[in-house]
Amino acid sequence: MSNQTNGLNTAHFFVDEAGDLNLFDRKGRVLLGQEGVSDTFMVGVAHVANVEVASAKLENLRAELLADPYFSGVPSMQPENRKTAIAFHAKNDLPEVRREVFKLLPTLGVEVQVAIRRKIVLVSEAQLLFKYGRKLHADDVYDDMVKRLFRNLLHRADINEIYFARRGKSDRAEALNAAISRAKMNFNRKWNREADKPTRILSAFPSERAGLQIVDYYLWALQRLYEMGEERFFRLVAGDYRLIMDLDDTRRKPYGEWYSDRNPLALEKIHAL
């Protein structure tokens, strides 16, 4: 389901990431295994069926929490600190706040897809490219994951609107447009039909778009599952993940292991590389 605008269906997508693509230090040493360094990099997209309703529910929850005397004086709840008071962010929110957000998420009509890269594989790819005088660019990895995520998402509505969480100060609209165009081409090639629906690509901070706060929470839950083996957060929202692509678990298929309603993800299925 998508929002109606002038009689046309508009699908709203929100894209964020978890982890980072830092693989080496300045001396070329591998960073994996060091404290604070993730083993995975994830890009996720949340399709929010009714943006206005979802935004209102999140804002109402924030207002209730800010008015609760229990949180009085808590630094993250003060507007000047620009944390929970202006936007939910799973990593920074208090456990009590996080619990309330997770209770709300299944009521928002969200469908989530996530692409996962294992950084140990990316290190090997980077080292191989280096031997041939080439470099593995983080933006290329990111854009490839975006292309994969949107391959089967852009043909359902009359208009698509995609919000990307801002990544630093650079404006990468041209590259992201190219990634989306490749996703459409791949769909056309696979199904022999057109998916060239009007698509707007925008960027915003999470405080500006509730959908970015939503996808952040789904990514955080999945990251905890992969990085720490902690399943309790993932279980709360597991039904909202439509597709999880573990692209580097190629034991059975060259394109990776895909989890969906037919093959639900569970902790014991995750393969340690």
Question: Is the per-residue pLDDT at 172 higher than 90?
Answer: no
What is the reported pLDDT for 75?
A: 93
**Count of structural domains, the chain:** 1
Question: Is the per-residue pLDDT at 111 higher than 90?
Answer: yes
> What percent of the chain stands above pLDDT 70?
89
Which of 35-39, 42-46, 157-161, 176-180 is predicted least confidently?
176-180
Tens of pLDDT, residue by residue over 65-94, are: 999 999 998 999 998 988 999 999 999 999
Whole-number mean pLDDT of the chain? Answer: 90
What is the reported pLDDT for 4?
A: 54
| Better pLDDT: 249 or 5 | 249
Tens of pLDDT, residue by residue over 250-269, are: 999 999 999 999 999 999 99
Q: What pTM did the predictor assign?
A: 0.91
What is the reported pLDDT for 46?
A: 98
Q: In degrees rounded to 5, what are phi and psi of residue 3?
A: -70, 150
CATH number of the domain that residue 127 is part of: 3.30.420.10
| pLDDT band with cut points at 50, 70 and 90 for residue 1 | very low
Question: Is the per-residue pLDDT at 182 higher than 80?
Answer: no
Contacts of 243 (CB under 8 A, 6+ apart): 113, 114, 258, 259, 260
What is the reported pLDDT for 208?
A: 94
Cα–Cα dist 222/257, whole Å:
15
| Better pLDDT: 171 or 186 | 186
What tokens does 59 get? 């804002």
**181 with 197: CB under 8 angstroms?**
no
Cα–Cα dist 241/261, whole Å:
8
What is the reported pLDDT for 116?
A: 98
What is the reported pLDDT for 189?
A: 62
Q: Residues 112-134: what's their mean pLDDT?
A: 96
Tens of pLDDT, residue by residue over 224-241, are: 999 999 999 999 999 999
Provide the domain limits for residue 248. Answer: 3-269
Question: Is the per-residue pLDDT at 216 higher than 70?
Answer: yes
Q: Residues 48-72: what's their mean pLDDT?
A: 96
| pLDDT band with cut points at 50, 70 and 90 for residue 19 | very high
Question: Is the per-residue pLDDT at 25 higher than 50?
Answer: yes
Cα–Cα dist 248/117, whole Å:
6
CA angle 98, 112, 176 (to 5 degrees): 110
Taking CA atoms, 271 is separated from 136, 141, 180, 227, in Å, by: 24, 21, 30, 12
What is the reported pLDDT for 170?
A: 52
Contacts of 191 (CB under 8 A, 6+ apart): none
> What percent of the chain stands above pLDDT 90?
72
For the CA atoms of 252, 255, 260, 265, the dihedral, rounded to the nearest 10 degrees, stands at: 60
